Amino acid sequence: MTLIDGPFAMPLAALAAVLLDRLFGEVRRFHPLVGFGTLAAAIERRLNRRTIAGGVLGWALAVLPWVALALALRPFAPFAVDVLLLYFSLGARSLCEHAEAVARPLREGRLDEARQRVGWIVSRETSALDESGVAKAGVESVLENGNDAIFGALFWFALFGGPGALLFRLANTLDAMWGYRTERYNLYGRWAARFDDVLNWLPARLTALSYALLGRWRDALACWRAQAPGWESPNAGPVMAAGAGSLGVQCGGAAIYHGREEIRPPLGCGPAPVAADLGRAITLIRRSLWLWLAVLFLIGALHA
C-alpha cells in the first residue's frame, strides 16, 4: 500500500488539487466549465418550454453523462482522476483574484474602476455605489462564493471523490445559469435551484462554522442564529451572516437589482466594510481552506 491508495489518498489528492489551483488558477483557455456552459445553454434553448419536467430533463442531460464518465474512468487511475476533477471544480485563486481586483482600486481611490470590477462578480447594479457600497458588495460576494467555489466542492469530494466534486460543480453552475425566478426560468430552472440547495445545505453550514472558528466566533454564531433565517436563500444566509459577524462588519441592507431597490436583512455587526475588509475576507477564505485540509488529514490519520 502506498500513500496514494491508503487512508491518506483523499487528503493528499485534495492538497494536490488545491496546490494546482494556487499555482495555475483556472484554465485560461478551453476551460471545461466554459464548454459545459455552452452545452447547457444549447440544451436549455431546445428544451425550455417553461415546465419543471423540461428542466429536470435538461439538468439530467447536462450533468449525468459527465458524472457517469468520471465514475467509469476513476477505477483506472483514482488518484489522478480525483486530483484533476477537484482542480477543475475549485475556484479559490480565481475568487481571491477577483476580490483583490476590487480591493486594489478601492484602496487607491479609483472608485469608478472598483465599481466596474465589483460589477463583474455581483448581480446587483454597481454604477452608483459609494466606497462602502463597493466594499460591502465585494465582502458579501467573497463570503458567499467561498462556499460555492471552494468548500462545497471539497465536501462532496471528501464523500465521493472526484465524481462528487464534479457533480457539485456542474449542479452549482446550472443553478447560476437557470436558478432565477424570471418568466423564462421560474419553472424550467426550479429543479436546478432546489437540487443545488440540497447539495449546499450541509457544506454551507460547515463553511459558516469555519468562518466563525477563525474570527470573532461569538459574534459570528450570534449573527448566524439571529440573521440567517431572514434571508431568502437557506444557504447564503448562514454563510454570509457568520462571515460578516466573524469579520466584525455590517453588510446586507439596500441594494438595487434589475432597476429595483431591495431592502435586505442585515448581516453581521459592526461598522460598514471598507477596502481593507475585502483583504480580511480573502484571508478568512484562505485560512478556512487550510482548516478544511487539516481536518481531511486528521480524518485520514484516524483511519490509518
So what's the pLDDT on residue 275? Answer: 93
Q: Is residue 3 part of a domain?
A: no
**SS3 of residue 109 by DSSP:** coil
Summarised one tens digit per residue, pLDDT across range 116-130 is: 999 998 888 888 899
Q: Is residue 1 part of a domain?
A: no
Summarised one tens digit per residue, pLDDT across range 267-294 is: 999 999 999 999 999 999 999 999 999 9
Q: Is residue 2 part of a domain?
A: no
So what's the pLDDT on residue 270? Answer: 95
Whole-number average pLDDT of the chain: 94
Q: Measure the CA–CA gap between 248 and 280, rounded to whole angstroms.
A: 10
pTM: 0.95
Q: Which residues of 54-79 are buried (b: 16+ CB within 10 A; e: fewer)?
A: bbbebbeebbeebbeebbebbeeebb
pLDDT band at 1; cut points 50, 70, 90:
low
Summarised one tens digit per residue, pLDDT across range 190-224 is: 999 999 999 999 999 999 999 999 999 999 999 99
Q: Is the predicted pLDDT of residue 236 greater than 90, yes or no?
A: yes
Q: Is residue 282 part of a domain?
A: yes
Q: Is residue 133 part of a domain?
A: yes
Closest by CA to 216, choosing from 284, 136, 147, is 284
Q: Is residue 164 part of a domain?
A: yes
Q: Which residues sit opposite 263 in a β-bridge? A: 254
So what's the pLDDT on residue 2? Answer: 67
Q: Is residue 185 part of a domain?
A: yes
Summarised one tens digit per residue, pLDDT across range 60-119 is: 999 999 999 999 999 999 999 999 999 999 999 999 999 999 999 999 999 999 999 999
Dihedral sign for Cα atoms in the order 301, 294, 153, 75: negative
Most confident region among 175-184, 239-248, 263-272 by mean pLDDT: 239-248
Structural domain count of the chain: 1
Q: Measure the CA–CA gap between 231 and 242, rounded to whole angstroms.
A: 13
Q: Which domain holds residue 120?
A: 8-303
Q: Measure the CA–CA gap between 258 and 157, rounded to whole angstroms.
A: 36
Q: Is residue 236 part of a domain?
A: yes
So what's the pLDDT on residue 3? Answer: 66
The alpha carbon of 178 is separated from its chain's Cα centroid by a whole number of angstroms, namely: 16
